[in-house]
Amino acid sequence: MIKKSVFSITLLSLPFVSSLNAFAEQSQSQIDKGDTAWMIVSTALVMLMTVPGLALFYGGLVKKKDVLNTIAMSFVSYCIVSFLWIVYGYSLSFSDDIGGIIGYLDKAFLKGVKIESLQGTIPEVLFSMFQLTFAAITVALVSGAYIERIRFSAWILFSILWMSFVYVPVAHWVWGGGFLAKMGALDFAGGTVVHVNAGIAALVGVLMLGKRKNTMLIPNNLTLVSIGTALLWFGWFGFNAGSAASSNAVAAQAFINTNTAAAVAALAWMLTEWIITKKPTVLGIASGIIAGLVAITPAAGFVNITGSVIIGAIAGVICYFSVTAMKPKLGYDDALDVFGIHGLAGIMGAILTGVFADPSVNEAGKGLLYGNAKQVLIQLAAVGVTMLYTAIMTCVIFLIIRLFMKIRVHEEDEIIGLDSSAHGEKAYNL
């Protein structure tokens, strides 16, 4: 009798269990409101990094006669990428893979990306917008190396070509299922895709552009630099923690790692400068903050707090010497030290991710200190491939632009300043 009752109850419960299973499966494919809210905020934070963050940071560093031109380069980069990313950038970066190299155009103009389309637990259109902000700031970062000498029209053409033929393929290789992703390369938030990419483009570009007439770095307004630095630091929480694409523990770890590395790098730069020059400068502290933020970017969601401290400390010291010793010795005119800070800190951070990646923080990453020496080799390969490709393509892009227009401004325009000669405006009407 008892067996019959149990059997009857089991039969009666089957529809209920089936409905629970169906509900669970449906829930897994539904939008997560918490994740979506966090990613909307993160996307806005990353946008803030380009305009006004980077625009003010770069604008305060240049000579007062070139402030508006420098700011305009960041603004126009963001506008160009915002349009082209929707047209084809997102599709080529994040649609199905073609031979590990590039995506298809099946999502051009966001075709097929419907309101109900999901990327994980968030709307795909939001994921696309988040990635758009990464592409925009990468292009804008390069401008800091070229300022005070490149024609505004040449910069616009460079932005279009470089985003299309450099950023988009590299983003696909690492984040879109391309060959570096399949190799197992770790890049949580853009050490390779953003900073190595931008840094190498900066170095190659300045070598092709040649030196400015006056290569001295004379910041016109360190208050603007400080405000820009603060906005970049603030926005970087969305940049790194948002790259978890979810409101979870990994995002929280990336958040604290980001803050810690930036603070430690700033202290390391300040103390190094203080010992050598006997004066701790505001510009040095700001530069150290940026170096730490860059270095922790590829590692943010993979390393523990100890790893973030070590990465930040190394970044502060190495980037100080790259700017004060290496650049003068080699003689290249990287105006705002895009290669010396973003390039070198990005390279260093990407490699050290292979050392400090802690599987207890993120099971997707296991580095040298946790028994996986191979990860360091993978990171080296990813960095090397990116550097080589970016260097060649940036050179080719400059040669293509030269077929259509002069890249450098006239000497008299450079002396007058690009605010007046290119835009007919002045930053300070005092």
Domain CATH number, residue 99: 1.10.3430.10
Question: Residue 96 domain-assigned?
Answer: yes
* Structure-token pair, residue 385: 């491939």
What pTM was computed for the model? 0.92
How many CA within 13 A on the CB side of residue 290? 32
The percentage of the chain sitting over the pLDDT mark of 70, rounded to a whole number, equals: 93
Instruction: Indicate the pLDDT class of residue 217, thresholds 50, 70 and 90.
Output: confident
Q: How many domains does the chain have?
A: 1
Is the pLDDT reported for residue 23 higher than 90?
A: no
Does position 180 have pLDDT exceeding 70, yes or no?
yes
Residue 34 lies in a domain: no
Q: Which of 42, 44, 49, 45 is nearest to 74 (CA)?
A: 49
pLDDT classification of 289: cutoffs 50, 70, 90: very high
192 domain residue, yes or no? yes
Domain contains 14: no
**pLDDT digits over 379-394, tens only?**
999 999 999 999 999 9
Identify which of 199, 180, 181, 87 has the alpha carbon closest to the alpha carbon of residue 141. 199
Examine residue 40 and state whether it is found in any structural domain, yes or no. no
The verdict on residue 412 lying in a domain is: yes
- For residues 182 and 21, the model is more confident at 182
If pLDDT is split at 50, 70 and 90, which confidence band does 29 have? low
Q: Which domain holds residue 379?
A: 48-423
Average pLDDT, the chain: 94
Residues 56-111 have pLDDT tens digits of 999 999 999 999 999 999 999 999 999 999 999 999 999 999 999 999 999 999 99
Give me the pLDDT at residue 1, please: 43
pLDDT tens for residues 118-155?
A: 999 999 999 999 999 999 999 999 999 999 999 999 99
| Assigned domain for 356 exists | yes
Closest listed residue to residue 361, CA positions, set 189, 205, 242, 244: 244
Residue 430 has a pLDDT of 76
CA separation for the pair 63, 336 (Å, rounded):
11
Q: Select from 283, 282, 291, 237 the least CA-distant residue to 262.
A: 291
SS3 call for 392: helix
Residue 7 lies in a domain: no
SS3 308: helix
pLDDT at res. 141:
98
> How do beta strands 118-119 and 122-123 pair?
antiparallel
